[in-house]
Structure 1
Amino acid sequence: MAINNNGSHSAALELCYESINGSCIKTSYSSGPRVILYLAFGSGTLLAVLGNLLVMVSIIHFKQLHSPANFLIASLACADFLVGATVMPFSMVRSVESCWYFGESYCKFHSCFEGSFCYSSIFHLCFISIDRYIAITDPLVYPTKFTLSVSGQCILLSWFLAIAFSFSLLYTGANDAGLEELVSALTCVGGCQIAVNQTWVLIDFLLFFIPTLVMVILYCKIFLVAKQQARKIESLSSKTESSSEGYKARVFKREKKAAKTLGIAVIAFLISWLPYFIDSIIDAFVGFITPAYIYEILLWFAYYNSAMNPLIYAFFYPWFRRAIKLIVTGEVFRGHSSTIDLFSQKK
């Protein structure tokens, strides 16, 4: 998190609140760019909300999708859905209008939500990578290791750690300790400014970096194991294989595809959020000099990650495309729709 100065360095004379002393200066866009920005940000917001809602409904409604791994994916979709519902719409207005019109209280809530859902996504992805690692390296024992109970504990831990950290950091004021003069100088009516000092920006970065490092290491191991298993399956294909070996090969192929898809989701997350975290940590050590428009670009680049996962699932998972069709056409409201076989029916 960095200071978003909402146009305080702008030379424009228009104010966020014309009748209030100490109002922030407003940087206005002409009508053309404003429409384009609202369309761009609005479409991303809509996709994040509707796309992740479809993921959650699909996994919750269809019994065939009730698995520990899929419940983790549904919880991850919930975090992305909440970004689209509680963060992106308000950030859209702030980014385009360069003013915060939603009150000081919600400014802090908005920043807490932003941090909570970001870290929740990171922790979910980390647990998902652990799940995929166990599924690939020991597919026959995997169902007894990663149970519904274990999945539930991972989900609760992901949400609790993220929410507890973000809210305690901002509501205790630990984030801007030592930056009081800077915050006071930049505070104006119509601004939503969150400063994070050097100590806490380092902790922020470590909370991003450590789970990321775990994910990268595990996915590297996953694909090394997958390569070895693929060679073994090829060597067995020319021989008469036992039923147990054939079953193990089929399970491996399924888990490998799931690992590949979720690996792409991890890469998309890193590409989206890494520039923001790097800028935040540099900004804190050089005096918060990042221009407001650069900060907004990096932030929206990160926000758009919440809209990407449903697109990844739709591209790689035929069962998700089938589920979307059943939901959109209203077939899910028919009796026994929850027992439909999404894997064997035609797309």
Structure 2
Amino acid sequence: MEMSNWGVTNTENLTIQYCFPDNNLSCSKSIRPEAEYIVVYIFVSVTSVFTVFLNLLVTVSISHFKQLHTPTNVLILSLAVADLIAGLILMPVQGMKLIEPCWYFGEIFCSIFPLILYVVGTASLGNLVIISVDRYIAVNDPLRYPLKVNKNRVVVSIVVNWLFSFVYSFCLLYESLIYPERNHSCIGECILSVKLEYLILDSFVCLVAPCCVIFSLYVKICFVANYQAKQLNSATNKKARSEKKAARTLGIVVLVYLLCWMPYYLVTLSLGHDENDALVINIMQWIVCMNSLMNPFIYAMFYRWFRLSAKYILTLKILEPSSEYFSLFPEEK
């Protein structure tokens, strides 16, 4: 999760001005057509608002309705919180970077912002790994699943995951956080440079290794689920189909996550810190943030409980007495 370039991009045939005209140490900036600003800011605003709104629906649904207080849904809640942070902080700032070459948020936030991105990205991936393990146990050993997996253990794993994400991200960005003045050569610039060896290590820790674990677990899940579908009786088979559907849905979440992150790693590994490619890298970072918008749509497509809970929330039935006990799993006809 290396942040390659946050500085000024000079483009030919564009008017050059200064980020802070009254400051002799100000960086220069290029002025783009007004239509570009309007289109990008509208797109960023709408996308950010939808991301926050949809992930709030997920968060409120799982937190409020008792039927959703399961270990797997607690993991989905943790993932939704990470996506909510992305919608509130990461997406607006990343969107502004697509059109605005100057950094107006100050030296301190210049150091803190990439830390937030690292922590959220690493925690999201950690959640997906834990979800994969959870689904593997549910499908491979359904009888002992309640003994092996419970809410307390899941909460502990989530806390450990977020703590690890913070410590890992802090270690990678240590120099930038301790010496924020190194992040700019002029006023209005925000550059974060990560050594190539750190980037390679990060690619292994946050992409290659987790992908191998997740892929191997889901391959086993598919084999076991298909075998169970053929061997078990109809009553037990209904439960097996339910677990298989849940595994498939969360597998799609994992696949979308990887599709959003892999282009970013490929681009940053190939381009490095070339300032001329800052726009390309910013676009890749924006695609990464868009992953936070996609997850709620996946839940809406495959989880009936999410559609029902969203309906209760939007129609304000959630305010009724004992609404937390509403049924979200009506029997299928």
Q: TM-score, normalised by structure 1?
A: 0.88
Pick the aligned partner of 1:255 from 243, 257, 277: 243
**What is the deviation of 1:169?**
2.5
**What is the deviation of 1:273?**
0.8
What secondary structure, in the 3-state scheme, does the structure 2 residue paired with 1:190 have? coil
Residue 213 of structure 2 is matched in structure 1 by 214
Q: Deviations over 1:17-43 (max 9, x none)?
A: 111123222232212221211122222
**In the alignment, is residue 4 of structure 1 matched against residue 2 of structure 2?**
no
Residue 202 of structure 2 is matched in structure 1 by 204
Residues 5 and 191 in structure 2, CA contact (< 8 A), matched pair in contact too:
yes
Which one-letter code corresponds to 2:91 in the other structure?
M
Residue 304 of structure 2 is matched in structure 1 by 318
| Residues in 1 aligned to 2:202 and 2:283: alpha-carbon distance in whole angstroms | 20
| Residues in 2 aligned to 1:288 and 1:214: alpha-carbon distance in whole angstroms | 33
What secondary structure, in the 3-state scheme, does the structure 1 residue paired with 2:30 have? coil
| Residues in 1 aligned to 2:259 and 2:31: alpha-carbon distance in whole angstroms | 30
Pick the aligned partner of 2:191 from 180, 190, 193: 193
| Residues in 2 aligned to 1:344 and 1:112: alpha-carbon distance in whole angstroms | 43
| Residues in 1 aligned to 2:135 and 2:234: alpha-carbon distance in whole angstroms | 20
CA RMSD of aligned residues (A): 2.1
| Residues in 1 aligned to 2:170 and 2:188: alpha-carbon distance in whole angstroms | 22
| Residues in 1 aligned to 2:157 and 2:172: alpha-carbon distance in whole angstroms | 22
Residue 16 of structure 1 is matched in structure 2 by 19
**In the alignment, is residue 84 of structure 1 matched against residue 99 of structure 2?**
no
| Residues in 2 aligned to 1:309 and 1:27: alpha-carbon distance in whole angstroms | 36
- Gapped runs of 5+ residues in structure 1? 234-244
| Residues in 1 aligned to 2:159 and 2:330: alpha-carbon distance in whole angstroms | 33
Pick the aligned partner of 2:278 from 285, 292, 295: 292
**What is the deviation of 1:15?**
1.6
**In the alignment, is residue 282 of structure 1 matched against residue 266 of structure 2?**
no
| Residues in 1 aligned to 2:178 and 2:278: alpha-carbon distance in whole angstroms | 20
Residue 105 of structure 1 is matched in structure 2 by 108
Q: How does 1:53-64 map to 2 (within 5 A)?
A: 53-64=56-67
Q: TM-score, normalised by structure 2?
A: 0.92
% identity of equivalent residues:
35
**How many equivalent pairs are there?**
327
Q: Deviations over 1:307-347 (max 9, x none)?
A: 1100100111111000001111111011000000011189x
| Residues in 2 aligned to 1:147 and 1:75: alpha-carbon distance in whole angstroms | 15
**In the alignment, is residue 44 of structure 1 matched against residue 42 of structure 2?**
no
Residues 75 and 127 in structure 2, CA contact (< 8 A), matched pair in contact too:
yes
Residues 305 and 329 in structure 2, CA contact (< 8 A), matched pair in contact too:
yes
Q: Deviations over 1:236-278 (max 9, x none)?
A: xxxxxxxxx4442122111111101000000100000111112
Q: Deviations over 1:190-242 (max 9, x none)?
A: 12211110121112111222112111111111112222222324xxxxxxxxx
Higher deviation after alignment, 53-62 or 160-169? 160-169
Q: How does 1:137-176 map to 2 (within 5 A)?
A: 137-173=140-176
Pick the aligned partner of 1:35 from 30, 33, 38: 38
Higher deviation after alignment, 12-21 or 121-130? 12-21
Which one-letter code corresponds to 1:6 in the other structure?
G
Residues 94 and 285 in structure 2, CA contact (< 8 A), matched pair in contact too:
no
**What is the deviation of 1:174?**
9.3
Residue 70 of structure 2 is matched in structure 1 by 67
